[in-house]
Each structure stands twice: as structure tokens, then as C-alpha cells.
Structure 1
Amino acid sequence: MTHYATTSQGDRVAYDLYGGSGPALVFVAGAGPYRAVDPITTPTARLVADAGLTAVVFDRLGRGESPADGRLDLERELAAVAAMIDVAGGSAVLCGHSSGCSISLAAADAGLPVDGLALWEAPLGEPADKTRTWADEILRHLDAEDYVGATEKYMEDMPPEWLAGMKSAPDWPESAKSSRSQRADAQSLAWAQQALEDGTLDITVPVLAMYGTATFPEMPVAAASIVASVEQGAEKELPGAMHSWEPEPMAAELAAFARACAG
């Protein structure tokens, strides 16, 4: 059953709550997914709840049942994350997926009540100036309401068949409008890459940087970079492919990590 919470910025966020006792885990999606089209996060959350934890899965701003107008920037997204931490019990481990990792890093760096960070395949590793130029170009397209251009720019370093598949769909121009919700992704990735490069990442909670057994070669490199930049970091390979995890082993790892973070 979908629940709703209102953020400090006035946005209405849709979420599902699983379990309700034990350490809390909030899943932070990357660029694109939301509950109705995400095949792995909800099954993982249910398994985490079955293990005795509280799990929250939410639709990020501008997606699914969380419609939002205007500039969906990182500040508003962090307010949504804060609201989800609140409904989870007041503090939580954040599980970031892809660019959800950089949003989760930003949440912890900003001082939100984060107990730990479980990061799956953070897409970091390019020079900070290149990432900033890339992000600025995405924001330029979004400001001009050029959603096709923003989507093409966002996906330029991803496997080309991913974008080709989107473009082959009959609703392509309409579906490209979902790039409105990727402003926060671009901003957080640029910020995180600069913080890693400058050594200014202020993360004191435990961090688990994970990647799949069949993944892109830059993902283990990014995980190692994050671990080297935080006070309490570890990296781990888990079953997974094509930027996704397998729910059962992921849920077991997340449950153990959340319990350890809760002390």
C-alpha cells in the first residue's frame, strides 16, 4: 500500500514501508527507476523486512507517484531523502543505486541522520572537470526544456543499446521528459567527483561500496576510490550483472550491514 509524506520543501513523496522494527534501510534509486518499473528493489526490501529490519522504497521526485513541478534539484531531493529517513524511524542506512550513490553521499555529507551508506555501483571515476562539464550540459538542456537532449547527454557513456532501446519506443519523446528528475543526479555526481578529487568528502559513518560479479570495469575502481576517501570503508563484490544486483544475496548483505551500523 502506497503511503505519502511531505518534505520540508513542500513536495509529496510516495513510498512503501516494509517491516517496521529493527534497523532501518532507505533505498535511493538512480537516474530513472521508480517503484512501478523497478524489478529488483522492492523484492530486496521485502527480504530485508523478512530479516527483521525496516525498509523504505520511494518514488523520487518527478517519478511514479511523486509528481513535482519546477527545478528538481539536489536540495529538494535531499529533503525527500530526509523525509524518508523520518518515516523509517528517524535514522537509517541509505542504499544508493548508481547515481543514487552520489545522492546518498551528499545526504551523509550534509549531516542527515544517516547510520551508514551501502552503495551499489557508484558511476564515479572521471576527472572532476569533465564530470562538471557533463553535468552543466545536462542542466543547460533541462533549463531549455530539451528533454531529449538531456537524456542523450546523460546516457552518452552508457552502453549505446540502452539509449537505442529507449529511442525505439513509440513514446520516446514523452518518456524523455523523465529527465526532469535527473537534475539532482547530475548535480550530485559532479559534487561527489569533485569531493573525491579534492579529498573533501566528509563521511564519518560506515560505507560499503559494492559491485556485481559481471559489471563494467570502472565500477570496482570507483568503489575503491570511495573506500579510500572515507573513515570507515569496505568494498565487496556480490552476484549481479548489467548494473543490477540479485535480491537474495543483496538483502542478506544489507541486513548484516544495517545491523552492524546500528551497533
Structure 2
Amino acid sequence: MHKVVSRDGTTIAFERAGDGPPIVLLNGAFRDHTIFDALVPELTPHCTTYVYDRRGRGESGDAPVYSVEREIEDLEAVINEAGGRAVVFAGSCGANLAIEAALAGAPITKLALHEPYFRVEGHPRPPADFMANLSALLAEDKRGEAAEYFLAELMGLAPEVIADWRRTPLWATNEANAHTLLYDTALCGDFTVPAQRLATLRTPALVVNSDKTGDWLRAAAQATAAALPNGRGVQLPGSWHRVEMDVLGRVLVEFATT
């Protein structure tokens, strides 16, 4: 992987592929750049893709103290490697980060978001002490329990779904990256759609949700799209919190190149 140094000295690892206008792909909770392995081939005939490991994951470095501002600087460092301006596609908590970066003035030409982690009225938020409880579990190095707590209380997954996930090879990655769940929680703020702030964002935006996703994820995507002055929402075929990659690829190519 290529490496770039963020403003605070943290090394950020990224991969570049394809030819055409640049698009940076930004992952969400638990994952690193490999979450986009199936999407990149759909984009590279038309775009130059930049996928990177967010700080604390994969081959990227980290810092003793986390802040959203440092993560914005990481994204800006990758965009600089892409020529100084780029389309950004981000999902889950990564969508929250992309929104914060755009609001902070990052050089994002277009913003594509997949089901950001917000809650709208009628959908319960995580408990008020969510961050404190998650921090306590991680302070005791209870990574598996921290991952379960995040999935249950923030993502709303049923115990049997989490138990099934624990039996898959992917669970080891969940535990390895569990410390970054604090970063993703910080990105969620108070978990409400920041409609007043989004109303100031003039960046062209596309907000995607799956036709079979969870109710709170669909509602959050629709509310985010409605709050963006130059935003529109689109529902695509898929499953819970996931869109079919070939369909998503075609939509992103059209969005990024027109």
C-alpha cells in the first residue's frame, strides 16, 4: 500500500487503482479498506479509486488521543494524493465522517453517502451512557464484549444475529478493530440528523439506502437527503445495510462522472 502522512504525523495507508476522475472510498465501523474489494472493480474502468485504512486500522497508524478533526485531516491527506479535489463515497459511520469533513470545508466535489448513523424521531437512540459503557469495556480489553455492545445498542442487532456473526471468520477483525468503535461513536454526535448544519452544505450529494435495510437506517438516509439543499435520495436493491455491488457501482460511476 501507498502511505501518506496526516497533519498530526499519523501515517495513513491507501491503495490507488483505475483511471478517470478520483473517488475516495471511506469505510464505516469495524472495517478497513478491504470492505471495498468487490466495489473497486466496478468503478475502476471509469474512475480512479482511492481506498484507505482509517486511523487505528489495517496498515495505518494511530495517535494516543482521538478527535474527529484528525480524521478529517486524514481524509484531506488522501484527497490531496488524489489531486486535491475528489468525489467521496462513504458508508455507515464513515458517512458521518464524510459529512463532518464536507461541513469543515474539505475539498469534496461530490458527496455520496450510504445509510449514515443517525436516528430520527420514532426510532430510539442508543442509551445516554453508551460511550461510557463502551469505553469501560475497552479499558478492560473486553474487545468481544465491546463489539457485541456496539452491535446491539447502536446498530440494533438481535442477540441471535450477533451470535451467528461471532461464529464467522470475520469476527476476529471485529475484535481487532474494536478500539476504533470509540472513534465511530464520536462521529455520531448525539445521533440526531444535524439538519440545520446540513442546510448550509451546498455540495452535490447522493444518499443511498437498501430496499431491505433496517427501518432506522432507511429513515436516517431519507432524512439526511431531505436536509441537504443539493441532495437526493435513492433506494437500491440489496439487503440489511448493504447494496448490491454491481448496482451501487453503476450509480456511483454516473454520479462521479456527470
The bucket for the TM-score relative to the shorter chain is 0.7 to 0.9
Report what 1:204 is aligned to.
Answer: 202
Q: CA distance change for structure 1 residues 46 and 214 in 2, over 3 Å: closer, same or farther?
A: same
Which deviates the most, 133-142 or 62-71? 133-142
**Equivalent residue number for residue 221 of structure 1:** 219
Deviation at 1:176, TM superposition (A): 2.5
Question: One-letter code of the match for 1:163?
Answer: I
Question: In structure 2, what is the Cα distance between the partners aligned to 1:101 and 1:82?
Answer: 15
Q: Return the alpha-carbon distance in structure 2 between the equivalents of residues 165 and 100 of structure 1.
A: 25
Counterparts of 2:2 and 2:183, CA distance in 1: 23
Given residue 197 of structure 2, which amino acid in structure 1 is its aligned partner? T
Identity over aligned residues, as a percent?
Answer: 25
Shift of residue 17 of structure 1? 0.5
TM-superposed CA distance for 1:130, in Å, is 4.0
User: Is 115-124 or 148-157 further displaced after alignment?
Assistant: 148-157
Question: Which position in structure 2 is the counterpart of 1:153?
Answer: 149
Pair 161,13 (structure 1): closer, same or farther in 2 beyond 3 Å: farther
* C-alpha spacing 1:160/1:207, structure 2 compared with 1 (3 Å): farther
Question: How does 1:1-263 map onto structure 2 within 5 Å?
Answer: 2-22=1-21, 24-36=22-34, 38=35, 41-51=36-46, 53-126=47-120, 130-131=125-126, 133=128, 134-142=130-138, 145-156=141-152, 157-168=156-167, 176-190=175-189, 193=192, 195-196=194-195, 199-201=196-198, 202-260=200-258
Q: Deviations over 1:18-53 (max 9, x none)?
A: 12432x2111101011234x2xx13322321202x1
SS at match of 2:235: strand
Deviates more, 1:156-165 or 1:212-221: 156-165
Q: 2: distance between equivalents of 1:112 and 1:143?
A: 33
The superposition leaves residues 67-89 of structure 1 with CA deviations (integer Å, 9 ceiling, x where unpaired) of: 42423432222121111111111
Distance 1:48 1:166 in 2: 29
Which amino acid is 1:28 matched to?
A: L
Structure 2 spans left out of the alignment, 5+ residues:
none
Query: In 2 relative to 1, CA 119–173 (structure 1 residues): closer, same or farther, beyond 3 Å?
Result: closer
- Equivalent residue letter for 1:114: I
| Aligned residues: CA RMSD | 2.7
Q: Give me the whole-angstrom Cα distance separating, in 2, the residues matched to 1:174 and 1:47.
A: 25
The aligned amino acid for 2:60 is S
Alpha carbons 1:103, 1:184 under 8 Å: kept = no
| Cα separation, 2, equivalents of 1:131 and 1:114 | 30
Instruction: Give the Cα–Cα distance (whole angstroms) in 2 for the partners of residues 231 and 79 of structure 1.
Output: 25
Return the alpha-carbon distance in structure 1 between the equivalents of residues 202 and 191 of structure 2.
Answer: 15
* CA distance 1:206–1:140, shift in 2 (3 Å): farther
What runs of 5+ residues in structure 1 fail to find an aligned partner? none
Deviation at 1:8, TM superposition (A): 0.6
Cα deviation for residue 206 of structure 1 reads 1.2
